[in-house]
Chains A and B, each alone.
Chain A
């Protein structure tokens, strides 16, 4: 995977994870262009499109668009399921996740993503294990702050 973007229906970026080295300016430009392209698509259209020389896989969950850019040889359907798995993880962690959760706890969203995907590839595909890892980390930090 080259990058993942989460954005609202108004085009506000809620999360951006880049797995390729790109300058700030390039990132901003890509985000702008891609967000516009996807927002322009109609609801019944298919979830895949070709954009520049990448394949884009996207899905809308409530008010958020989840958008991934993958390389030519990557499997599109499995990427769709990666998106779904990430949503499931967020859901389990926050309990019925909504966009506000991601806005106010953006750093947690990044941490969860890191436990699931690393370097653009899925590192742990068992939901249980990912959640366990995050809970462990939370516990550690509670101990450290003496709040147990």
Chain B
């Protein structure tokens, strides 16, 4: 019954609480509360100074109202006043109020800090504890500033009482969590480590928690704690149950302390000292042995405490990852738990095994439990346990069991909770791709995924399957056939239409021979889904249609009719309308060759990192993903969307250089108006300035290619560089059918030495002229050299492109082109030790 007799009655409070409980409705409750608030407000403002007891009562009432969920905006001052009372309960209530209703008013904060300071200096352990508890509960930055240096002193002072030491240790821990920069490491750190040897186990417990947190911030300062921790732990583990008296919990020796010591040890690698290491191993073995002994009590608390220590020990074993015998034993123990009666233990066993699965020593051992895990997946009633089972299957998957696991995950997917479907889809996609030996299986798996959980198949997944099909010739026919069959289902998911549309568009010809999948049948099949799909899918289908026109001339007319219909040409969506119009026009005016070139089969995608993996990591958050690190994937196929300008992403170093030089060049570009010839009349149909710039920039990372092109002339380059010398072969191509006369070139450069060999003054129609330029770099330079070209094309010339005829009237052509000789061409890699490198790096910043 209520401990009213144990001190302070506060009848008024009890009555108030009863009133609230008796309120029949929310409105009545609010009314009663408001009445009380008004009462308290008037009492606080009143002329009569309130005595401590009343103040305490009212502050407590306010606290109660706040905890019910209502907002309180006054009472802080009174609560702070209570702090300076020398009556313990009044202080206590005052501290409780300000810990719960944190206020950021700076005056109040100053007053509070003052009160705390007084209590800390009071030498009364109960008051000191109150103050420390308050700091630990609030842990604000202002408090940290005020007390962060004081508390370590209290902690290690010889005359501090044990209970105060405990509070001080955990208070410091809280401050370190919220304001780590304000907690300075100092000479007290060594003394804190020494606390691990203290007589009082409560102090040891608190100190261990503190050291564990601090060790993550500065591990070196607390290295010495490892040996002390091991010693302490082995003493506890080998002790008889009567030794520790109060600290024995249901026949388990100091379980909390053991768990904390094991946690502390996980902050460090396995000890190097052999005797220490063997002592630790012994300790862990003892814990593992104890788990096999019959329980000393039937109470669940006993088994929980015992197993808590066991699981933490297993965590440590996994973290060290260095003793194969221990790892295997741990795995076997967990295997036993997998079939335990208690759901909690099964859950924890599945969770721990996930981490075990990634260690090479125990991976095989984990795999032996696959049947149990699959069974768990099918029979567990608790969804969180099933989720762990899925995670474990994912972690233990490797080449030998990939098919089985993927099949199980797929069948689970059919009945899985909606909230976890997307994650399972991603995992299945990753596994299927990683362990596919036979890519037909991969295609089947992904199509199954779409069939079962289409809504949760994100874009990355179906992009990936298409990329893989495109990259692998051997599976294209199979993919086309399977997709075709899948599309015939009466209700298929839109993602399937996307994949099917794309694949049939590219590879429909592989199955067109069979009358059941003739071109017309394929087209009708796709088009039957057309009106059911969203805009992006329809856009994709339109692209597939134009590809069909290219592949199957016999259906051209049919498709053109579809494209010609008003619903396409006047479609409300701009993208669809544009595609329909352009594709229709293209199909009408392009010759068969042109069409074939434009709609050529997609080239293979470059290989890059998986975006599916990235998406899964993002979903799960860092550190939560059980790593699947088994086996090496065969030729990881490319993953991200096909890029148009792949030179942007060829490699990180070139990207960096690109950015630097881009800046340089853009600066130069603005000041020197390149590409414009010096004659009055600009050459007709000169290439756009942006194209010229683009061409030039491409040369930053490559040495060969076309530098410049207009109606008459094409300039190509081949260059090679060694150390500070470079040689460029410039090829001038005459695109017309008649001669160029008076052809001459000159190279101007500010900082480079360029020697140009002389060239013939005549270039025959359709011929190519080669010029060699030798370049020497003598100093760093910013400006690229410029090539000046002069020539006289014949008048009334017919260019090969019969679409446009042009008359040049024999005018002298003057063209200026920048030569892509950039500073990076003369770069050479060098070897350096990391010390030298960092030395130089630091000098850069200075």
Q: With contacts A46-B385, A104-B2, A114-B137 known, is A141 near B201, CB below 8 A?
A: no
Minimum distance in angstroms from A119 CB to a CB of chain B: 4
| A59-86 near B? 1/0 per residue, CB < 8 Å | 0000000000000110111101110110
Minimum distance in angstroms from B525 CB to a CB of chain A: 44
Q: A145 touches which one: B87, B177, B256 (CB < 8 A)?
A: B87
- Complex Cα distance, B4 from A101, in Å, reads 10
* Interface pair A123/B139, CB less than 8 Å apart: no
B171 within 8 A of A: yes
B288 within 8 A of A: no
Most central of A103, A122, A123, A127 by chain B CB within 10 Å: A123
B412 within 8 A of A: no
A107 within 8 A of B: yes
Q: With contacts A46-B347, A50-B384, A103-B17 known, is A81 near B6, CB below 8 A?
A: no
User: Closest residue to A120 on the B side, CB-wise?
Assistant: B174
B259 within 8 A of A: yes
B247 within 8 A of A: yes
Q: A49 touches which one: B311, B384, B621 (CB < 8 A)?
A: B384
Interface residues of A toward B: which range? 35 or more
Q: With contacts A44-B381, A104-B14, A141-B87 known, is A118 near B623, CB below 8 A?
A: no
B706 within 8 A of A: no
- Complex Cα distance, B628 from A81, in Å, reads 33
* Interface pair A129/B246, CB less than 8 Å apart: yes
Question: Please, which residues of chain B bring their CB within 8 A of the CB of A24?
Answer: 71
Q: With contacts A77-B304, A125-B247 known, is A94 near B384, CB below 8 A?
A: no
Q: A94 touches which one: B3, B140, B169 (CB < 8 A)?
A: B3
* Interface pair A104/B17, CB less than 8 Å apart: yes
B563-583 contacts to A (CB < 8 Å): none
Q: With contacts A21-B178, A48-B348 known, is A138 near B382, CB below 8 A?
A: no
Question: Please, which residues of chain B bring their CB within 8 A of the CB of A19?
Answer: 174
B205 within 8 A of A: yes
User: Closest residue to B63 on the A side, CB-wise?
Assistant: A107
B820 within 8 A of A: no
Of B89-97, B473-481, B672-680, B829-837, the one with at least 4 CB within 8 A of chain A: B89-97
Q: B623 touches which one: A72, A122, A136, A147 (CB < 8 A)?
A: A72
Q: With contacts A72-B624, A118-B133 known, is A81 near B255, CB below 8 A?
A: yes
A137 within 8 A of B: yes
Interface residues of B toward A: which range? 35 or more
Question: Please, which residues of chain A bring their CB within 8 A of the CB of B308?
Answer: 75, 77-78, 80-81
B45-70 contacts to A (CB < 8 Å): 60, 63-64, 67, 69
| B101-132 near A? 1/0 per residue, CB < 8 Å | 00000000000000000000000001001000
Question: Please, which residues of chain B bring their CB within 8 A of the CB of A94?
Answer: 1-3
Minimum distance in angstroms from A147 CB to a CB of chain B: 8
* Interface pair B205/A124, CB less than 8 Å apart: yes
- Complex Cα distance, B1 from A101, in Å, reads 7
B683 within 8 A of A: no
Q: With contacts A48-B384, A126-B201 known, is A121 near B173, CB below 8 A?
A: yes
Q: With contacts A81-B249, A104-B2, A128-B246 known, is A46 near B167, CB below 8 A?
A: no
* Interface pair A106/B202, CB less than 8 Å apart: no
- Complex Cα distance, B1 from A103, in Å, reads 12
* Interface pair A93/B136, CB less than 8 Å apart: no
B838 within 8 A of A: no
Q: A101 touches which one: B2, B163, B381, B621 (CB < 8 A)?
A: B2
Minimum distance in angstroms from A118 CB to a CB of chain B: 4
| B2-35 near A? 1/0 per residue, CB < 8 Å | 1100111000001001000100000000000000
- Complex Cα distance, B202 from A127, in Å, reads 11
Question: Please, which residues of chain B bring their CB within 8 A of the CB of A107?
Answer: 60, 63, 92-93, 96
Q: A84 touches which one: B60, B92, B301 (CB < 8 A)?
A: B301
- Complex Cα distance, B263 from A113, in Å, reads 23
Question: Please, which residues of chain B bring their CB within 8 A of the CB of A126?
Answer: 201-202, 246-247
Minimum distance in angstroms from B133 CB to a CB of chain A: 5
Question: Please, which residues of chain A bring their CB within 8 A of the CB of B88?
Answer: 137, 140-141, 144
B155 within 8 A of A: no
Q: With contacts A21-B139, A111-B92, A141-B8 known, is A81 near B301, CB below 8 A?
A: yes
* Interface pair B256/A78, CB less than 8 Å apart: yes
User: Closest residue to B1 on the A side, CB-wise?
Assistant: A95
- Complex Cα distance, B247 from A127, in Å, reads 8
User: Closest residue to B202 on the A side, CB-wise?
Assistant: A124
A142 within 8 A of B: yes
* Interface pair A48/B256, CB less than 8 Å apart: no
Question: Please, which residues of chain A bring their CB within 8 A of the CB of B202?
Answer: 123-126, 129
B312 within 8 A of A: yes
Q: With contacts A28-B69, A119-B171 known, is A144 near B87, CB below 8 A?
A: yes
A sample of 21 cross-chain residue pairs with beta-carbon separation below 8 angstroms, ordered by A number, consists of A13-B69, A45-B382, A46-B382, A47-B344, A75-B312, A77-B307, A78-B304, A78-B308, A118-B174, A119-B174, A121-B209, A123-B205, A125-B201, A125-B247, A125-B257, A127-B246, A141-B8, A141-B87, A144-B86, A144-B87, A145-B87
Chain A residues within 8 Å of B, Cβ to Cβ: 13, 15-16, 19, 21, 24, 28, 44-50, 53, 72-73, 75-78, 80-82, 84-85, 93-95, 100-101, 103-108, 110-111, 114, 118-129, 133, 136-138, 140-142, 144-145, 147
Contacts A49-B384, A77-B307, A101-B3 supplied; 20 other A-B pairs, CB < 8 Å: A13-B67, A44-B343, A44-B381, A76-B344, A77-B311, A80-B344, A81-B301, A107-B63, A110-B96, A111-B96, A118-B136, A118-B171, A119-B171, A121-B170, A123-B169, A123-B205, A128-B246, A141-B87, A141-B88, A141-B89
